[in-house]
Structure 1
Amino acid sequence: MPLGDSAVLVRFGSDLDEAANRNALALAAELLRLPITGVLEVVPSLVSVLIRYDPQAIDGWRLAGEIGLRLTHRPCDLDTKTHRIGVLFDGPDLAEVAEALGLSVADFINRHNEQALRVLTTGFAPGFVYCGFHAPELVVPRRTAVRPKVAVGSVLFAAGQTAIAATEIPTGWHVIGHTGFRNFEPERDPPTRLRAGDVVVFEAVS
């Protein structure tokens, strides 16, 4: 779908699920592997890809055709890394989340960490990272009240995902712990360490 006169959005679903997210990441990777003349920026999100282009270099109809060709290619293998991230599970919402799931705190922590998660996307705020998906029985909705600010390194949980706040932000996610891992360092190039498609293994620390 067109966004103004210099961008298009390719959407793979209206709801977040595994297939839609993988398809979005695969298209973004293919567009970077086989660039289209006139495309200025490729930005994957949870279930879509934003493509900014120069209308003086390529028109929307030709761009749509070029994107369609890349959608027919076999998805390329993503260049991903595995990251082990230690978490101190001491968040103010930890006990409430465990109780809502019918688990003890210890059992919730074990279930939370038992499988590796994928980085679904980054964004919303600098370095903010969404990791998923947890098993269906570990899904809880977001909080009804928004906290005006959570600290850098806060580990957040909701909607079958775990997120890491890399800056101070407001949030409606449950705060279940914190980590010393920092995913946003402005002086670095690139400033973030986690990329969409990377694998994250969370480990409890004390």
Structure 2
Amino acid sequence: MTKRQKEILDFIIEYYQKNGYYPTLMEIAKHFNLSAVSTIHEHLQKLEQEGYIKRSGKGKIEIVEKSPKNENSFIFPYYGTISAGKPIAIENQTFEYIDLSDILRCENCYALRVKGNSMIGEFILNDDIIIVENRKEALNGEIVVAVIDGEETTLKKFYNLGNGYIKLVPANPDYEPMIYEADRVEIQGVLKGIVRSFKGLKKGALYDEE
């Protein structure tokens, strides 16, 4: 989905929520200050092909209330926020989707399983699966997969101290930051996302030791 297509989809959703019915092709074109409806028509065709909307023979637009049927998609209905206090109602009508493709489908990424609890302050738990972007350089503050002396691999926050030294910082007060000469540290990737399944999560996993 392009940026313009996302803007059009958002407008259709907002229009429906406000008016109780969907906008016409002309109304969409007018909203985006376009004199030619053919451009809007092309964007709507793409949205329909991707399963976000459907149109009748008369061109009537309607939002598809379920995730597009795509075996390779990671798109889930988005129902808003949830409170840890009072319960909230889950609406039956879906107007938005959360697309996790950027995290879970990445040509330059790989997965690792975390062992240990040195990064619990960043909500990375023992036995989590992390998605790592294959990169050899990192910005200060990014969480990286680093290899020390070509042998020991660790997951830590990265800081280039600018004086020929690298600092790797855990997210757990029980662990001390580690400082190494820069040539001893090789960056193998930068954290992109976390995948956690509660199906097999062990009780007390937050505190499991390595």
Is the shorter-chain TM-score for this pair beyond 0.5, marking a shared fold?
no
Alignment TM-score, normalising by the size of structure 2: 0.20
Q: Between the two structures, name the one with larger relative contact order (CA 8 Å, sep ≥ 6).
A: 1
TM-score using structure 1 length: 0.20
